[in-house]
Amino acid sequence: MKMRAAVLHHPAPVASHPLAIEDLPIPEPGPGEVLLKVEACGVCRTDLHITAGELPPLRSTVTPGHQIVGRVKKLGQGIDGPAAGARCGVSWLGGVDGTCLLCRKGRENLCDHPTYTGYSVNGGYAEYAVARADFLIPLPGEVAATDLAPLLCAGIIGFRSLRVAEVAPRARVGLFGFGASAHLAIEVLKFWNCEVYVSTRGASHQQLARDRGATWVGDATDRPPVALDCAVTFAPSGEVVLAALASLRKGGIVAINAIHLDRIPQFDYDSLLWGERQLRSVANMTRQDGRDFVALAAKIGIRPRTTVFRLEDVNDALLAIEEDAVDGAAVVVP
Ligand SMILES: [Zn+2]
Ligand SMILES: [Zn+2]
């Protein structure tokens, strides 16, 4: 039995169209794994880093895609659930060793031997995908798959960023950048009765922030009119990180949500970091982040703004993200 899948070869033959649509055998789930029929898969900026080789290739070929919404089709050995037909999500963290120091400390997002969906193992830009059963995220069955997919990376990472930034109810929170992740995080912030100050480039992103209830909206490095309790930066820019730092009150925290940052320019410690201001990075996610966020999103009724692409057009989706031409989140449907 064959399936359609988008495959990245190293090196990619055509830089502008890095993924090739191919017919591959439907994979068999190994012990502890499940086979999912993919209903939708979100497209993430990280996929650009993978297809461009900025994240070093781990295999000669890989199918990217790490925001998978699927239905259980088949169980591997050694597990007796979830039930056939159950809807599950697969996120970037596809597995951990469970034994390293950080896993044992409950920080599995920093595991020494992680499995990354769509990077170290094949992901969801395909009709079928295999995933570890113990890393599945239970999903509601009645919501559109395209509305759930963006929650699974953009949403979870955004949620983790709020945790890393130690957002408290009714806090004054800055969001620097307003794309796939931030437009979901703001829903959580509003649910927690926070004041949200958004600094982002582009009229469309600024409008989206207003539509989603931001208290104040400015340009990418604009400083909000009040001192912030904490901030999350989503833009891969060190200038933006400094703008966020400059917006904090004493004791405030900036969480950097970016796998790559161009570089942080030289900055003045006395005015920007003194006063127990903190600069933190956000790395990956834990299973608990995923399950907590999906449950909260269902409670709040979060619906992402999405642009849907066919699997055959996945290269167009990547290009649109690269050009910042997607409002909200891009989703591929096989
Ligand atoms: Zn991602
Ligand atoms: Zn580990």
Please tell me whether residue 289 adopts helix, strand or coil conformation. helix
CA dist., res. 286 & res. 291, Å (int): 9
The closest ligand to the CA of 150 turns out to be 1
Mean pLDDT throughout 98-120? 97
CATH of 2-152+304-333, one of 3.90.180.10, 1.20.140.10, 3.30.310.50, 2.160.10.10: 3.90.180.10
Cα dist from 304 to 79, 117, 146, whole Å:
33, 22, 9
Length of the chain: 334
Give 324's pLDDT tier (boundaries 50, 70, 90): confident
The closest ligand to the CA of 153 turns out to be 1
Q: How far is the CA of 99 from the centre of ligand 2 (A)?
A: 5
The Cβ of residue 75 has, within 10 Å, a number of other Cβ atoms equal to 18
- Average pLDDT value over all residues in the chain: 95
Give 11's pLDDT tier (boundaries 50, 70, 90): confident
Q: For 230, phi and psi rounded to 5 degrees?
A: -165, 165
The closest ligand to the CA of 47 turns out to be 1
The closest ligand to the CA of 107 turns out to be 2
Give 282's pLDDT tier (boundaries 50, 70, 90): very high
- The domain at 155-281 falls in which architecture? 3-Layer(aba) Sandwich (3.40)
The closest ligand to the CA of 156 turns out to be 1
Q: How far is the CA of 178 from the centre of ligand 2 (A)?
A: 32
Residue 14 has pLDDT above 80, yes or no: no
Q: Choose the weakest-confidence range: 7-21, 46-60, 282-296.
A: 7-21
Express the helix, strand and coil content of the chain in percent, nearest 5 each: 30, 30, 45
Q: List, in sequence order, every residue forming a beta bridge with 278; answer none if it has no partner.
A: 253
pTM of the model: 0.92
pLDDT of residue 145: 97
Condensed to tens digits (0 to 9), the pLDDT of residues 221-248 reads 999 999 999 999 999 899 999 999 999 9
From 108, 86, 81, select the one nearest 97 (Cα to Cα).
Answer: 108
Query: Which residues surround the ion ligand 1 when the cut-off is CB under 5 Å?
Result: 44, 46, 153
The closest ligand to the CA of 109 turns out to be 2
Cα dist from 179 to 3, 110, 200, 305, whole Å:
32, 25, 9, 10
Domain ranges across the chain: 2-152+304-333, 155-281
Residue 179 has pLDDT above 90, yes or no: no
CA dist., res. 132 & res. 29, Å (int): 9
Check if the beta carbon of residue 39 is closer than 8 Å to that of residue 85.
no
Q: How far is the CA of 10 from the centre of ligand 2 (A)?
A: 28
pLDDT of residue 166: 98
Mean pLDDT throughout 291-297? 96
Residue 301 has pLDDT above 90, yes or no: yes
Edge-to-edge strands of the sheet including 228-233? Answer: 216-218, 195-199, 172-176, 228-233, 248-256, 278-281
The Cβ of residue 101 has, within 10 Å, a number of other Cβ atoms equal to 10
pLDDT of residue 286: 96
Give 133's pLDDT tier (boundaries 50, 70, 90): very high
Residue 15 has pLDDT above 90, yes or no: no
Q: How far is the CA of 40 from the centre of ligand 2 (A)?
A: 29
Condensed to tens digits (0 to 9), the pLDDT of residues 78-88 reads 999 999 999 99
CA dist., res. 116 & res. 228, Å (int): 34
Cα dist from 312 to 49, 64, 318, whole Å:
20, 14, 12
Tell me the percentage of the chain whose pLDDT exceeds 90.
87
